[in-house]
Amino acid sequence: MAQLILIFIGGGLGSVARFLVNRSLQNIVPQPPVYGTLLANLMASFVLGIFLGWATLRQPAQTDPLRALVAVGFCGGFSTFSTFSNDTLHLFQTNRTAEALLNIFVNVAGCLALTLAGVWAGKQLL
């Protein structure tokens, strides 16, 4: 039960963080909305990588509650595959095929790269 509560809290905080990133970015770049989703996904991937890198140096008993809070809850709530999919579909439907393909590439490659960079950074933490 405690694990579910931690996931719930982390997910709520991650969702609020995603909303704030989107809102802040819309004030700077009003169109297209895919940038907010992209930025949230990239940031969540980096945070997840940092956590995973850090956690590899610890015992599972030390990291399990934090894994529920940070990795599953916060990063799960902060990143959004469904909105990425909707944004990309909208780009395809409005004949912005090159932008849609670029959005796919940058989301997938960027998130993988930032997760890897985060793992490296997390392993540097004491």
Give the whole-angstrom CA distance, residue 16 versus residue 87.
19
User: What is the residue-wise DSSP string for 57-68?
Assistant: TS-HHHHHHHII
pLDDT at residue 32 in the model? 66
Provide the whole-model pTM: 0.91
pLDDT along the chain (126 residues), means of 10: 94 96 86 85 97 90 88 95 94 96 97 98 90
Both tokens of 113, joined, read 């790269």
Q: List Cα–Cα distances, 115 to 7, 44, 92, in angstroms.
A: 20, 9, 27
CA 78 to chain centre: 5
Q: Which domain holds residue 108?
A: 2-124
Reported residue count of the chain is: 126
Gap between the Cα atoms of 59 and 110, Å rounded = 29
As for how many domains the chain has, the answer is 1
